[in-house]
Structures are given as structure tokens and as C-alpha cells.
């Protein structure tokens, strides 16, 4: 049973526009959420996180929104740049630092 | 900048052979994870250590996989015997906290090909 779901396998966005990546989760025990970016043949790189006590966290071009009642989070990238093209993983953490990942969304930013 | 070190980066092995991967986490990080990632899927947790103790190995195929972190620092993941279906990226990650949520940092991974 997938506890973290990224239902869009891929997303294509024009350079300069907003990219919105979505993630849903099922486990109410998750209390910390993270986004990672991954290039081919490399390990995932941490991007941004949010605690369950917040509904928004912003870091430069990246903003993560959390809707606890809907068990939904999203990552907004604005403006999108060609270098943002990568696979983006949503991850969720529960007590004891147990970290569960979604299947990923491939983002392509066209110049 | 501190990094998680993994070796080797690439490994090709014949089925039924033994293979081992090594990970050195960021200094001071108590939590160490081994993940397996198959192309097109998200990382799947194999084993999680807190210091030298295993806290979760529920998804580790224990008939052929083993993992250890003897002194609570670096770790080794072993597969014996390797099967064709083990071909994947093996990722190690570490995080610093004990019981408090924080981000995990990943190494470059080991790409295993079983032929």
C-alpha cells in the first residue's frame, strides 16, 4: 500500500512559468514532509521541508504548501528554469525518522 | 561541505555472486538508511539504523541481504547471492537527530547491474 503518492508521472512547463508538483499521503502519523530533486545517476538532493504544524514554507524560488485536512502537499517553483529539469520526490517522515518516498514526478522545463 | 560517501559508484556482477556496498555517513549523524531505487520508482527503504542498532529492516530480503553498522559509523550492505532482479540503484542516507524530524542527506549511490 503506497503511503505517499505522486499521481503525475511527468510535468512539462515553459521557462519562467510556475511549476506545481503535487503529493498526497495516507498515513496520519506523518508529521514532517520533504521534497528532493534527483538527476540521473546521482543521489537525491534535499530541497525544502515543512513541519505538520505549518501550512507554508518558502525558500527562494521554492515554496511548499501543506493541507493537513486533505493530506495533500504541493511544491511550487517560480520562476521555473531549465536547470530545474529533474525528477522530484515527495517524502514523508513519522516518529523515529522513518522516511517514506513517493514514486516521483519528472519535471521538464522548456526554454 | 560534509557529504555521505558511498562506494563503489558502479558495480557489475554475475548472478549468484556476492556483492557489497559501503557507506560513510556525515560525521555525527546517528541515523543511517539504505534505500533501493528501481528506475521509474521512488526509493524503497531496505534498512534503517539508529547508531549501531537496526530500527527497521522489515523490507530487507533477509534470505540474501544483510546490513551492518558495527561501530555506529560506517555501514556495509551485502547481497549473497545476487539475482537479476537486484539490478538497481542502492542509496545510503544519513540524518543527525535522535527522535526529532529533520532532513536526510543522500550519497551518490551505487548502480548495481547483475548479469
Helix (H, G, I), strand (E, B) or coil at B13: strand
Contacts of B39 in chain A (CB under 8 A): none
User: Is B46 within 8 Å of B68 (Cβ atoms)?
Assistant: no
SS3 per-residue string spanning A2-58: CCEECCCCEEEEECCCCEEEEEEECCCCCCEEEEEEECCCCCCEEEEEEECCCCEEE
For chain B, give every domain's residue range: 15-96
Return phi, psi of residue B84, to 5°.
-55, -35
A4-110 classified as CATH 2.60.40.10: yes
Residues of B with CB under 8 A from a CB of A: 4, 6, 31, 33, 35, 40-45, 48, 50, 55-56, 91, 93, 95, 97, 99, 101-109, 111
Query: A101 and B107 in contact by Cβ < 8 A?
Result: no
Helix (H, G, I), strand (E, B) or coil at B84: helix
Q: Indicate the fold that domain B15-96 takes in CATH.
A: Immunoglobulin-like (2.60.40)
pLDDT in tens, A49-101: 999 999 999 999 999 999 999 999 999 999 999 999 999 999 999 887 889 99
How far CA A6 is from CA of A11, A45, B43, B103, in Å, comes to: 11, 18, 13, 19
pLDDT in tens, chain B (115 residues): 679 999 999 999 999 999 999 999 999 999 999 999 998 899 999 999 999 999 999 999 999 999 999 888 999 999 999 999 999 999 999 998 655 668 999 999 999 999 9
Task: Give me the residue from B35, B50, B109 closest to A42, CB to CB.
Answer: B109
Entry field: residues in chain A: 111
Amino acid at each position: 500500500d503506497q503511503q505517499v503518492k505522486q499521481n503525475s508521472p511527468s510535468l512539462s512547463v515553459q521557462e519562467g512559468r510556475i511549476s506545481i508538483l503535487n503529493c498526497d499521503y495516507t498515513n496520519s502519523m506523518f508529521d514532517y514532509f520533504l521534497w528532493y530533486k534527483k538527476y540521473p545517476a546521482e543521489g537525491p538532493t534535499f530541497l525544502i521541508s515543512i513541519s505538520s504544524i505549518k501550512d507554508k514554507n518558502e525558500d527562494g524560488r521554492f515554496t511548499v504548501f501543506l493541507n493537513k485536512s486533505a493530506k495533500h502537499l504541493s511544491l511550487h517553483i517560480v520562476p521555473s528554469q531549465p536547470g530545474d529539469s529533474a525528477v522530484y520526490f515527495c517524502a514523508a517522515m513519522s516518529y523515529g525518522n522513518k522516511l517514506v518516498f513517493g514514486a516521483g514526478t519528472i519535471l521538464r522545463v522548456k526554454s | 561541505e560534509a557529504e555521505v560517501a558511498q562506494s563503489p559508484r558502479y558495480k557489475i556482477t554475475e548472478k549468484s555472486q556476492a556483492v557489497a556496498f559501503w557507506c560513510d555517513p556525515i560525521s555525527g549523524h546517528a541515523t543511517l538508511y539504505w534505500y533501493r531505487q528501481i528506475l521509474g520508482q521512488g526509493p524503497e527503504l531496505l534498512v534503517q539504523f539508529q547508531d549501531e542498532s537496526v530500527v527497521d529492516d522489515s523490507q530487507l530480503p533477509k534470505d540474501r541481504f544483510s546490513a551492518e553498522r558495527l561501530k555506529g559509523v560506517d555501514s556495509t550492505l551485502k547481497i549473497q547471492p545476487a539475482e537479476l532482479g537486484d539490478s538497481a540503484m542502492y542509496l545510503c542516507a544519513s540524518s543527525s537527530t535522535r527522535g526529532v524530524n529533520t532532513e536526510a542527506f543522500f550519497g551518490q549511490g551505487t548502480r548495481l547491474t547483475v548479469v
